Structure 1
């Protein structure tokens, strides 16, 4: 990390350093045999252009009932589809479904699984995840900070034995999102 980096990039780099240290300490999905050679995950350079604070459109209570997400192992994961966000990506606005654990009525964060045009080439093929903070605007409306720089691979990207939810069809973006975690072999 360089001292001349802007505060946003420094904050992203510090978060990534903490995550790398967590993995290196054996607290992540890496097999013990991989730890001695682990030097950190691969990431796209932080870019504030991939950060959006957007209104959260909650679904009516009856519509946000259980939603079944498929997983990489064929099992299912049941969550609540809490609402939707409209994200103004470079290729146009896209709607993404956001999820919460069942029964969570006022979440501090929402879960956004997604795939994009980098999936399977520059990023994990099954998709990536965002844990997006929820806040409020001055009128009390819900806002979500969708920061693709914080996109991460699910644990199943690192080895067998993990069950990871797959993004639903409506969360497949047709364009490239070069932000967040990437495969070690992907270009910078």
Structure 2
């Protein structure tokens, strides 16, 4: 894992902004793409970066998750991360789309949802190659939190964060609401 995490996160943000503003497959609606000048993010903040063990569940239960279009998707509840945000102890479940997947999906809502951030919640994707430390912990970096595609257009179906991942604390890191761009 690189020690220059700030530059890496900034570079990924710039690449995403370019893609959203220029690519025909962008989730930004066609009528808004020409005037798109980038997404709105919280400033990078090291206090929202955690190196944590994944407490893997012995019984990996399947979970049906509701979607933004009243559909459903299946996930496997793989494990959980336990950490403190300020003085508040929190737990977030990590899911996989299937047991063979090396990527963990960590959807969440927090006290900023519906105010400064997308109301339905945000996501973190943790890739084994880029989010595992040498000692086997996972890097849970909320500076990388992003909105699902349905935040930009209702033509997308997005899984909604399960209630077990609704946090009472504010996670003032990552992507803000698309509507707050000016």
What TM-score results when the alignment is normalised by the length of structure 1? Answer: 0.86
1:3 aligned partner: none
Map of 2:32 onto structure 1: 34
User: Does the 8 Å CA contact 2:41/2:176 hold for their aligned counterparts?
Assistant: yes
**Structure 1 pair 166–91 and aligned structure 2 pair: CA distance change class (3 A):** farther
2:138 to 144, 153, 169: 144
CA deviations over 1:5-46 (Å, ceiling 9, x no partner): x93322211110011111112332112221110111110011
State the shift of 1:101 in Å: 1.4
**How big is each residue's C-alpha offset from its partner over 1:95-131, in whole Å with a ceiling of 9 and x where there is no partner?**
11001111326x1x31000000000000000000001
Tell me the number of residue pairs that the alignment of Structure 1 and Structure 2 aligns. 175
Q: Is the 8 A contact 2:96 2:105 kept in 1?
A: yes
Aligned residue number for residue 23 of structure 1: 20
Q: Which has the higher strand share?
A: 1
Q: RMSD of the alignment, in Å?
A: 1.9
Q: Which runs of 5+ in 1 are unaligned?
A: 1-5
**Is contact 1:91-1:175 (8 Å) kept?**
no
What's the TM-score, normalizing by structure 2?
0.88
Separation of aligned partners in 2, 1:77 and 1:185? 27
Q: Distance between the aligned counterparts of 1:161 and 1:100, measured in 2?
A: 24
CA distance in 1, matches of 2:5, 2:134: 21
